[in-house]
Amino acid sequence: MELIPISTGILKPGDDIATVVQQTILLHEGDILVFSSKAVATVEGAHIDLADIQPSPEAYLLAKACGQTPESREATLQELHRMNGRIAGKCPRALLTELQPNGMTQGSILVASAGLDHSNTKAGTVIGWPRDPVESIRRLRKVLEVAVILSDSCLRPARKGVTAFAIAVSGINPFRSDIGRPDIFGKPLKMTVEAVADQLATAANILMGNADQCIPAVVIRDSGIALSDFEGWVPGIEPEQDIFRDLTLAQAREIG
């Protein structure tokens, strides 16, 4: 498997990110393109100007408890409302949110600040995901004619450091079930489902970085992953199957 970074200058609203990719590399049949959600949101003009935000009393309380400005926390609250979310946990420097966006039919997404970020966007603004991530990847796949993954950075319970996950996918199955396959001693696996899209997003994120790399997309070539008709939000896990569920519920009870 080969990972090929797509380097660009600083992207701005109105840029055609698909054309940028086409001018940079000749795509092959079977390639998978991983796009940074913040890059796609940027060219779509989805940034939020904090000067236009009027903080609510709840936003002031969250800013005091978790840092950032009241305007930034109000932007998070508005994104929570837009994506059917709730506050799932908090610490002095971060706010954990759980999202169930329209069109996501299974599970939910745990992410900091409803996906909003102060980095890689102009001062006084925040940037989150595209307004409609599934429509964004649908358009990109139609133009580029390869499978597309929309990714974002994320954190993991009890682990230090940033990794990445797949928000939405078009053209591959985001999972591979190994249930029933034998292990090295011939015992059938009972639970193992590989998070294929998340692992590809994480591999791409090593090249993308989170600082000034200006690598908004990565081509994954010769992965051996079969194409599929799947297109949509990457499904989450149902609460009764989630080993971390008690942790988030306990946090939510503390928040009240």
- Both 29 and 147 in one domain: the answer is yes
Q: What angle do CA 79, 82, 86 make, to 5 degrees?
A: 70
pLDDT at 90 over 90: no
**46 within 8 A of 32, measured Cβ to Cβ:** no
pLDDT at 150 over 90: yes
Mean pLDDT, range 124-153, rounded to an integer: 96
- Both 62 and 185 in one domain: the answer is no
Q: For residue 155, name the pLDDT band (cuts at 50, 70, 90).
A: confident
**196 within 8 A of 174, measured Cβ to Cβ:** yes
Pairing of strands 32-36, 147-156: parallel
Q: What angle do CA 11, 96, 201 make, to 5 degrees?
A: 45
Mark out the alpha helices in the chain (DSSP H runs): 17-24, 37-43, 57-66, 70-82, 133-144, 196-208, 245-255
Q: How far, in Å, are 61, 64, 118, 240 from residue 55 at the CA level?
A: 10, 13, 17, 36
- Both 145 and 225 in one domain: the answer is yes
3 state DSSP class of 156 = strand
User: Which of the residue ranges 165-179, 210-224, 231-245 would you say has the lowest mean pLDDT?
Assistant: 231-245
Q: Which domain holds residue 14?
A: 1-46+133-238
Q: Which residues pair with 90 in a beta bridge?
A: 95
pLDDT greater at residue 207 or residue 93: 207
pLDDT at 210 over 90: no
- Both 77 and 187 in one domain: the answer is no
What pLDDT is attached to residue 41? 96
- Both 147 and 230 in one domain: the answer is yes
What pLDDT is attached to residue 252? 52
Structure-token pair, residue 174:
């985001």
- Both 122 and 156 in one domain: the answer is no
* Average pLDDT over all residues of the chain: 91
pLDDT at 217 over 60: yes
What pLDDT is attached to residue 250? 55
CB under 8 Å to 105, separation ≥6 — which residues? 233, 235
- Both 137 and 201 in one domain: the answer is yes
- Both 90 and 20 in one domain: the answer is no
Q: What CATH number has the domain bearing residue 115? A: 3.90.1660.10
* Digit-coded pLDDT (tens) for 45-67: 999 999 999 999 999 999 998 88
Q: For residue 241, name the pLDDT band (cuts at 50, 70, 90).
A: confident
Q: Kindly report whether the global pTM for this prediction surpasses the value 0.75.
A: yes
Q: Residue 52 gets which letter from DSSP? A: G
Q: For residue 229, name the pLDDT band (cuts at 50, 70, 90).
A: very high
Q: What CATH number has the domain bearing residue 36? A: 3.30.1330.100
Mean pLDDT, range 166-176, rounded to an integer: 97
pLDDT at 23 over 70: yes
Torsion of CA 13, 15, 18, 21, to 10 degrees: -120
| Domains contained in the chain, number | 2
- Both 26 and 140 in one domain: the answer is yes
Mean pLDDT, range 75-88, rounded to an integer: 94
Which of 72, 96, 128 is where one domain is finished?
A: 128
- Both 124 and 15 in one domain: the answer is no
What pLDDT is attached to residue 44? 97
Which of 86, 110, 128 is where one domain is finished?
A: 128
Q: For residue 253, name the pLDDT band (cuts at 50, 70, 90).
A: low
What pLDDT is attached to residue 251? 56
- Both 165 and 87 in one domain: the answer is no
Q: 106-137 burial string, b = 16+ CB within 10 Å, else e?
A: ebbbbbbbbbbbeebbeeeebbbbbebbbebb
- Both 25 and 113 in one domain: the answer is no
User: Which of the residue ranges 68-72, 105-109, 165-169 would you say has the lowest mean pLDDT?
Assistant: 105-109
pLDDT at 108 over 80: yes
Q: What does 58-87 look like in DSSP terms, one character per residue? A: HHHHHHHHH-S-HHHHHHHHHHHHHTT-EE
